[in-house]
């Protein structure tokens, strides 16, 4: 991989692509998860992102098992997330101080470590005052259970509200924001990116391949079995539309011209966007992960970058560009 990058204004130095673990414990078993991590580390990566809800806790347990069988804790910049809660298959947020601190302790137990390098608030909780939520961060960092903190899936104003409140706390200032970002989902450029760059937060994009759409594997249709899946319709279906299809055609054309893959083109475009520190690559199999890592050093010529910028440009208007 390319040179490492600093995460926000923290002293965390991370590789330009992170490893996401959202499939671990569901679509990815322990053996393949172990193979994925080995391939990622061999490629020069060090940022591993997980959450307490991934696989119902199994993703964290997988990492804990790996750490217990010889994986060096110091080889990883390890992140997890708390605040998202799944009850009867439905998500909601709980960012109360006591819930967050209990959730972090449970994560550390599953991970088999005494601290995480980055602890992220997984969802905005409108029922809990933000100052109470941020108090949990202060307590966790003071106790040495988290080195830094960040937010995830926060809107622009929520990101700014949290970051400004934490900005005067020196080492407790927020380091990052994790948000969906790709060629087919550039909504964060309206408010979140300007807020993050202004307030010194590094951006960690999730779903950098547009939930799989930018791989071009659905270019000529969706397999019948997959198309009938409720999860597929909810998760991938969001990006199966005419606009996304046009973007995919340009990505595929650029890939053909450069003699590479659509995956490499989409990731290279995102890696070098303003404010981005490390897109998080999530894969069901080791083969899929290796395909993503194969183009980690691709440089996009400026003319191709402009072409991709233009076909995927988000709509800007009032108030982002003034009246």
| Tens digits of pLDDT across the chain (323 residues) | 878 999 999 999 999 999 999 999 999 999 999 999 999 999 999 999 999 999 999 999 999 999 999 999 999 999 999 999 988 778 899 999 999 999 999 999 999 999 999 999 999 999 999 999 999 999 999 999 999 999 999 999 999 999 999 998 767 899 999 999 999 999 999 999 999 999 999 999 999 999 999 999 999 888 877 877 888 888 899 999 999 999 999 999 999 999 999 999 999 999 999 999 999 999 999 999 999 999 899 999 999 999 999 999 999 999 888 75
Q: From CA 107, how far away is CA 265, in angstroms rounded?
A: 35
Q: Cβ distance 270 to 208 under 8 Å?
A: yes
Q: Is residue 237 part of a domain?
A: no
Residue 290: inside a domain, yes or no? yes
CB contact set of 266 (below 8 Å; sequence gap of 6+): 182, 183, 208, 209, 210, 214, 215, 251
SS3 248: helix
Mode of pairing for the β-strands spanning 146-152 and 47-49: unpaired
Note the pTM of the prediction, 2 decimals.
0.97
Let me know: does 3 contact 45? Beta carbons within 8 Å. no
Sheet containing strand 280-282, edge to edge, reads 202-206, 176-180, 146-152, 116-121, 77-82, 47-49, 18-20, 280-282
In a domain, 306, yes or no: no
Residue 133 placed within a domain: yes
The catalytic site residues sit at 54
Enclosing domain of residue 199: 5-211+271-298
**Total H helices, total E strands in the chain:** 12, 12
Domain count along the chain: 1
Question: Domain with 184 in it: what CATH number?
Answer: 3.20.20.100
Residue 219 lies in a domain: no
Tell me whether residue 227 is in a domain. Answer: no
Q: Is residue 221 part of a domain?
A: no
129 falls within a domain: yes
DSSP state of 158: H
């Amino acid at each position: 991989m390319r040179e490492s990058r600093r995460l926000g204004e923290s002293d965390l130095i991370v590789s330009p692509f992170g490893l996401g673990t959202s499939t671990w414990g569901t679509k990815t078993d322990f053996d393949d998860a172990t193979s994925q991590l080995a391939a990622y580390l061999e490629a020069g990566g060090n940022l591993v992102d997980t959450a307490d809800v991934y696989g119902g806790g199994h993703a964290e347990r997988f990492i804990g098992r790996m750490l217990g069988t010889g994986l060096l804790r110091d080889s990883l910049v390890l992140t997890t997330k708390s605040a998202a809660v799944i009850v009867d298959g439905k998500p909601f947020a709980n960012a109360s101080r006591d819930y967050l601190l209990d959730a972090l302790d449970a994560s550390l137990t599953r991970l088999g470590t005494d601290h995480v390098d980055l602890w992220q608030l997984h969802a905005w909780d409108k029922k809990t005052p933000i100052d109470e939520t941020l108090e949990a961060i202060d307590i966790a960092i003071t106790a040495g259970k988290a080195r830094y903190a960040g937010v995830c899936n926060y809107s622009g104003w929520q990101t700014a509200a949290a970051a400004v409140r934490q900005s005067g706390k020196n080492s407790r200032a927020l380091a990052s924001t994790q948000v969906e970002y790709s060629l087919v989902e550039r909504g964060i450029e309206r408010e979140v990116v300007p807020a993050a760059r202004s307030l010194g937060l590094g951006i960690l994009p999730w779903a950098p391949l547009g939930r799989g759409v930018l791989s071009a594997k659905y270019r000529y249709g969706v397999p019948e079995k997959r198309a009938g899946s409720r999860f597929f319709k909810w998760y991938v279906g969001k990006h199966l539309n005419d606009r996304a299809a046009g973007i995919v055609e340009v990505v595929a054309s650029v890939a053909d011209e450069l003699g590479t893959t659509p995956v490499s083109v989409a990731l290279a475009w995102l890696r070098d966007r303003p404010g981005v520190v490390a897109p998080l690559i999530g894969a069901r199999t080791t083969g899929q992960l290796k395909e993503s890592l194969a183009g980690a050093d691709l440089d996009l010529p400026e003319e191709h970058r402009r072409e991709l910028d233009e076909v995927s440009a988000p709509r800007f208007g009032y108030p982002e560009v003034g009246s």
